[in-house]
Structure 1
């Protein structure tokens, strides 16, 4: 998949998420179906925390001098909501009530950090030649880290749709 296609998917997925959020009120955003589930606000908190951590991982992977022998991964498994994936502690949401404006601001900030990181790349093919170890999915090419952001967001958009 070409970089501009990935960039387009990132935009489309984020616009879909923001569209859902704008149709919700404060109570809907912070309501939890049960004590073991996340609210929409917590899902969004998880999404922007994940994106921020991914930016750090991508930057670290880009610093590597070695080319990777890792193959690109299929990320379709992320869309299978029947398979529970436990989020690492670092991207777990808190229990605090979050206002819509704050959620949108944090989502915009995390996306801006990602886009800034990607925009300064002189050679975008580095993303397909270098890898970094993901805490859940193990060795992943940096391009797969970027691709997994919109696939991960699509997974959680489905979760939000189930909630509402």
Structure 2
């Protein structure tokens, strides 16, 4: 009996060692809800804006709504690209202790408008989608693709990592960061629209 118990325990441990770790149901739901809400909040806000409104700038060094929207669409591709690149590496549970923040802290950090950060060159708007409608369409397509990925993936998102200036995060948090980034710039668009000189 003792030998059987030992054998079963050995098999169980081996199965655990070879099984792929994936996000649980609550984590998947949280990410999907955040992605869908940040998308709908943005699209609802920019719907029906005219050309004068989307090109209005608060100052010479400020972005217009059109530029904010393009930056969001570019980031949607670049950030998920960073997630996908990380997933090509071997998973490493030993790094879990190095993760800099909790999920909620990641969302709080990226959505806060208190600290302004200059974006990297590859994230800068350059009128790459032709016009505002093209930009909105590109964002929607990329976000829908990313939602589909989160719905279906069985990747080990908790044991693959991305290095950011503020520290190490896991790839699940990278997805939350991407969604929070949309929320951050949606709030920036609201600030533009609340400017006293914003066209009526």
Q: Using structure 1 for the length normalisation, give the TM-score.
A: 0.87
My pick for the range that moved more, 136-145 or 5-14, is 136-145
- Other-structure match for 2:46: 21
Structure 1 segment 6-155 matched on structure 2, within 5 A: 6-67=31-92, 68-69=95-96, 70-71=98-99, 73=101, 74-75=105-106, 76-94=108-126, 99-123=131-155, 126-134=156-164, 136-155=165-184
Asked which structure has the greater CA Rg, the reply is 2
DSSP-derived class of the 1:2 partner: helix
Following TM superposition, by how much is the alpha carbon of 1:131 offset from its aligned partner in structure 2, in angstroms?
0.4
Structure 2, unpaired ranges of 5+: 1-25, 194-200
Q: How many residues align?
A: 161
Checking the alignment, whether the CA contact within 8 Å between 1:48 and 1:107 is kept in structure 2 is yes
Whether the aligned pair in 2 keeps the contact of 1:52 and 1:113 (CA below 8 Å) is no
Rounded to whole Å, the distance in 2 between the matches of 1:44 and 1:137 is 25
**Cα distance change of structure 1 residues 98 and 138 upon mapping to structure 2, 3 Å threshold:** farther
8 Å Cα contact 1:55/1:117 also seen in 2? no
Deviations 1:50-83 (A, max 9, x none): 1101121111111111313332622212232121
Alpha-carbon distance, 1:121 to partner: 2.2
Shift of 1:112: 3.2
**Shift of the alpha carbon at 1:20?**
0.6
CA distance in 1, matches of 2:117, 2:46: 23
CA distance in 2, matches of 1:9, 1:97: 25
Q: 1:132 aligns to what SS in structure 2?
A: strand
